[in-house]
Structure 1
Amino acid sequence: MERSRIAVTGASGLIGSALVRSLTADGHEVVRLVRRAPRDATEVRWDPERQQVDAAGLAGCDAVVNLAGAGIGDRRWTPEYKRLLRDSRVLGTSALAEAVAALDTPPRVFLNGSAIGIYGDTGDRAVDEDAPPGDGFLPGLCVEWEESAAPVEEAGVRTVFLRTGLVVAQGGGAWGRLFPLFKAGLGGRLGDGRQYWSYIALHDEVAAIRHLIDDDTLSGPFNLTAPHPVTNREVTEAMGRVLHRPALLPVPAPVLRAALGELSGDVLGSQRVVPRRLLESGFTFAFPGIEDAIRAAV
């Protein structure tokens, strides 16, 4: 792709920071949306919860990538934190979408964060982008998150929803917690280990986002997950092999529920999500297998 000006929210997060590094390494101009006073012309002020955006700073952007949102697994889901999870996504997306839609020359594409949590617990059933939303807090949150981008869609801007799975990386997310446990020899399957985990290597997550920026024919929801989801038991065995730490002791489901509260349903639940539309678009995974993805992270 030609050198472009691309705005990114959530640029300090796990995915956002990796995306910014990739784009700047290839000579693109990246504008970061920040919650404090901008330090230079590469930063634009916004306040997601107050729905304030310095729209002038978005002028001339070819793409806007919205990855902002409080961490799903960072804390127990108290009522206060659930409100923060929602507001940081829904209010921020709504404000950003309205600001982008009002630009005299809007960007070519608006990519909005989302998650495979939209499908809920799918058990052993493989689901693609045509599956309906599941039930519960997380599916409802994802539906609201995606619907908040309506102003840009209505303005005729190509809009893409990044339904991301569990990102395999040491720097954050679910795997950021797993790596230290396994390195200490404390890793083990969660519950009965039969639940499916739909993962993606951080490298492939960034490559997929760039692929979706570049291809003007692509819009709507895309599952950002590796082609073949694996069970938690298989993840545990692969982690043990790569890190040379045998995973011997399972973590009982009641212990997880006590430690994680409502979030334990997300960890113990099963999501067998496949990236049908991404594969059909011609995207090639660099690290499709779970052991490949873990080795890439290490």
Structure 2
Amino acid sequence: MNILVTGATGLIGDQLCRFLYNKNQVTVLTRNISKAQVQFKNRVTCIDSLEHIDFNEVDAVINLAGEPIADKRWTDNQKKQIVNSRIDITTLLVKKIAEAQNPPHTFISGSAVGYYGRQDSDMLIDESCQHPNIEFSHTLCKQWEELALSAQDSNTRVCILRTGIVLSQHGGALAKMLLPFKLGLGGKLASGEQMMSWIHIDDMTHIILYLLKHHELSGVFNATAPKPINNVEFTKALCRALKRPMLFPMPEKLLKILFGEMAELLIYGQAVLPKRLQRAGYHFRYDDINEALTNLLVRKR
């Protein structure tokens, strides 16, 4: 297949492209062509504008681009950047797909479990949820998803991935936690009761490959492991994997002082289930947090 990937140099995109370029023609949209060429060892075609690609010759588009949501404090300008970095590129992709006489047959676009907003810890959420909590993460994901879904027609199927916390030793949330936990300074966040919907990077990658392969699938899919856990359980599992004590909790008030509104991502959560993926026959490689962390932090040292 001829596959276009946006956000290819990010955490998910990097591993995904390394699977894809072995058997496919891969084109990546990037702001830094020379850096991307080095990252992928010249195994992909790099472009810095969608004007450089003919969408009539593209079989599938995978849209993973977007400013990281948890990297910086949510000032008004940062919120605008988070939104625009997703909406602008998705708008362009939808336009190019619509203009093509022979458009890509598959459009896979990112989203996040933040679509559901904060939820009670005893509430299990699947794709049929009709009661999202209306807050920044929800309105962002809702706008992003609706735009991507507008590309759906008889020639192009659209798959939306509501992704949980992606666990990888190479970046993302887990990599940020490792230093304090390795130093024995780790602990629960706020109450520790907030649910964490997580997914191993290997499953994240293989879910996208699964959706590429199964042309009968479309619509919204939760990309999360089948067993969400609360923050205390996650913290205990991480401490076990690193063989470190769980000593220093981070109070809610301190999180709000340090991170402002963005602290909501740490203080609140949701228990999200991948019901549609499981019904579609996808089998998770890692559904247990202890096995996932052992694989990432112990076996790969």
TM bucket (normalised to shorter chain) is over 0.9
Distance 1:189 1:5, change over 3 A: same
Partners of 1:111 and 1:160 within 8 A in 2:
yes
Query: Equivalent residue of 2:152, what SS?
Result: helix
Structure 1 stretch displaced more, 183-192 or 152-161:
152-161
What is residue 94 of structure 1 aligned with on the other side? 91
CA separation of 1:79 and 1:135: change in aligned 2, threshold 3 A: same
Q: Deviations over 1:7-44 (max 9, x none)?
A: 1000000000010011124x222110122568788122
How far apart, CA to CA, are the structure 2 residues paired with 1:85 and 1:161? 18
- Give the match for residue 30 of structure 1: 26
Could you tell me which of 20, 23, 38 is aligned with 2:17? 20
RMSD over aligned Cα atoms? 1.7
| Pair 1:96–1:155, CA change in 2 (3 A) | farther
* Residue of structure 2 in register with 1:42 after alignment: 45
| Contact 1:197/1:231, CA 8 A, preserved across alignment | yes
Partner residue, 1:210: 209
Q: Is the 8 A contact 2:103 2:155 kept in 1?
A: no
Please state if 1:175 is matched with 2:178: no
Q: Which moved more, 1:16-25 or 1:138-147?
A: 16-25
Alignment match, 1:105: 102
Q: Unaligned 5+ residue runs, structure 1?
A: 47-52
Q: Is the 8 A contact 1:15 1:202 kept in 2?
A: yes
Q: CA deviation at 1:134?
A: 2.3
- Distance in 2 between the 1:58 and 1:13 partners? 23
Q: Aligned-pair distance for 1:182?
A: 1.1
Distance (Å, rounded) in 2 between the aligned partners of 1:278 and 1:5 = 24
Give the Cα–Cα distance (whole angstroms) in 2 for the partners of residues 104 and 204 of structure 1.
34
Q: CA deviation at 1:57?
A: 4.2
Q: Secondary structure at the match of 2:286?
A: coil
Where in structure 2 are the equivalents of 1:100-249 lying within 5 Å?
100-123=97-120, 124-132=122-130, 133-154=132-153, 156-249=155-248
In 1, the alpha carbon distance for the partners of 2:276 and 2:257 equals 38
* Structure 1: distance between partners of 2:134 and 2:81: 20
Aligned to 1:49: none
Residue number in structure 1 paired with 2:59 = 62
Identity of aligned residues (%): 38
Match of 2:48, SS state, is strand
Q: In 2, Cα distance between the equivalents of 1:173 and 1:58?
A: 31
Q: Is the 8 A contact 1:98 1:151 kept in 2?
A: no
> d(CA) in 2 for partners of 1:56 and 1:9?
13
| Structure-2 separation of matches of 1:150 and 1:239 | 37
Distance 1:245 1:121 in 2: 30
Question: Structure 1 length normalisation: TM-score?
Answer: 0.92
Shift of 1:150: 4.0
Unpaired runs of at least 5, structure 2:
none
